Amino acid sequence: MSNIKVELKKSQVEKIKEMCRSFDADPGELINILHKVQGSFGYLPAEVQEVIARELNIPVAKVYGVVTFYSFFSMIPKGKFPISVCTGTACYVRGAETVLQEFKKELKLEVGETTDNGKFSINCLRCVGACGLAPVVMVGDKTYGRVSPEMVKDIISEYREV
């Protein structure tokens, strides 16, 4: 994983500030603000966190603490083909963990990371509402059901050449 330096455009900084203001720049709304900014920006790199901290008048360390604590916040851009492994209860009991391990091993990635070529990233999701198909994996918008560790290589190879 490379360390990506992000140059924010003036308009992007303005947009982030505006989103903070839409919550009255209230530090108590930090999680909601982060959600909104990630929804628009896609992820929350250090440079974005700094703007938010300044706007809310709180230490950057506080923002960083929240971003790293919650798994739904990400500090790196997702891959072109984001892989989401459902680790909700139904999927978990049917072996989501071993499927997840297999993806990590195949792509040499940890959860929340993106491959250097920007192609794949791995994330975990709570129940995606397809428990009947557990364990469920999504790649972008495409859903794979009853995924076994043996299927992982094939799933990845569908996207490798794309």
Kindly list the residues in this chain that would bind ligand FES in the complex (CB under 6 A).
86, 88-91, 127-131, 134, 136
Nearest approach, Cβ of residue 89 and ligand FES (Å) = 6
Query: Closest CB to ligand FES belongs to which residue?
Result: 88
Nearest approach, Cβ of residue 141 and ligand FES (Å) = 15
C-beta of 49 vs 123, nearer to ligand FES:
123
Peptide bond connecting 59 to the previous residue in cis, omega within 30 degrees of 0: no
Other beta carbons within 10 Å of 16: 25
Q: In this structure, what token pair is assigned to residue 150?
A: 């043996």
Q: Which residues contact 117 (CB under 8 A, 6 or more apart)?
A: none
Helix axes 10-21, 46-56, angle to 10 degrees: 50
- DSSP-derived letter for residue 75 is S
C-beta of 49 vs 87, nearer to ligand FES:
87
Tell me the sheet residues that pair with 144.
Answer: 137
Q: In this structure, what token pair is assigned to residue 141?
A: 């918008």
C-beta of 59 vs 145, nearer to ligand FES:
145
Nearest approach, Cβ of residue 83 and ligand FES (Å) = 14
Cα–chain center distance at 64: 15
Nearest approach, Cβ of residue 100 and ligand FES (Å) = 12
Nearest approach, Cβ of residue 82 and ligand FES (Å) = 16
C-beta of 51 vs 136, nearer to ligand FES:
136
C-beta of 63 vs 85, nearer to ligand FES:
85
